[in-house]
A = this chain, B = another copy of it.
Amino acid sequence: MEIRLVEDLLEANNRVAAKLRGLFSEKGILVLNLLSSPGAGKTTLIEKTLQRVQGSAKSAIVVGDVQTSRDKKRFEEAGLDAVQIITKGGCHLTATMVEKALASLDLDGLDILFIENVGNLVCPAGFELGEDMKVVLLSTTEGDDKPGKYPAAFFHAQAMVITKIDLLPWTNFDLGLAKRDARRIHPKLKIFEVSSLKGEGMEDWVNWILQRAEQKRGNRKSVHGRAL
């Protein structure tokens, strides 16, 4: 009975996710769904990324938390548009939660939407939100053994961002080991190494996103072009 219910929930979620995917394609918005443990640095990475793309792209954030609107407040203090979802105990976002949150955003002219999922390496991996890709964060202070121990997030993500690279000298994190472990699960995983706070590695990551956003906008134009 439990399995059946889980399947029903996933199917219902996928229906809404498909609708969102259509909406994002129509509007030409690149959507990234960020997954990680609590405290791996999702909020800071988004903050610093979107400050760098200001001028080149219009962006917004949907941020999920079990409780509190702290992250929304942080984004707003950084001059960024954010909508907060509070899951009240739920361990992941659902497409329906995202759909409701989008009602508070002006999607026209938007280029990039970051969805910051609940801090959790297990549950969010199985729930599509209509995104172009999942991005999984792994901080150097968490330990290099996490991909193998929590494989689903690394399997479903298209990119992994190794965060807090500035703390590497103070930890026993083995970069090579972490990357091998992740690529064993997902051989084509794109990997970035960054320090959001110190700026190291941010340029590559930001350029990659801007390129993907450009492609997404281009696809929309050609879709519209054919439609006319």
Contact = CB atoms under 8 A, between A and B. Distances in A.
Interface of A: 1-2, 5, 9, 37-40, 65-68, 70-71, 89-91, 118-123, 139, 141-143, 145-146, 148-152, 164, 166-167, 170-171
Q: How many copies does the complex hold?
A: 2
Contact of A70 (B68, B141, B145): B145
**A-side binding surface: helix, strand, loop or mixed?**
loop
A105 to B, nearest CB: 22
24 contacts: A2-B9, A37-B37, A37-B38, A37-B39, A38-B146, A39-B139, A39-B141, A39-B142, A68-B148, A68-B149, A70-B145, A70-B149, A89-B122, A90-B122, A91-B122, A118-B122, A119-B149, A120-B121, A122-B123, A123-B123, A139-B141, A141-B167, A167-B170, A170-B170
Contacts of A150: 38, 66-67, 119
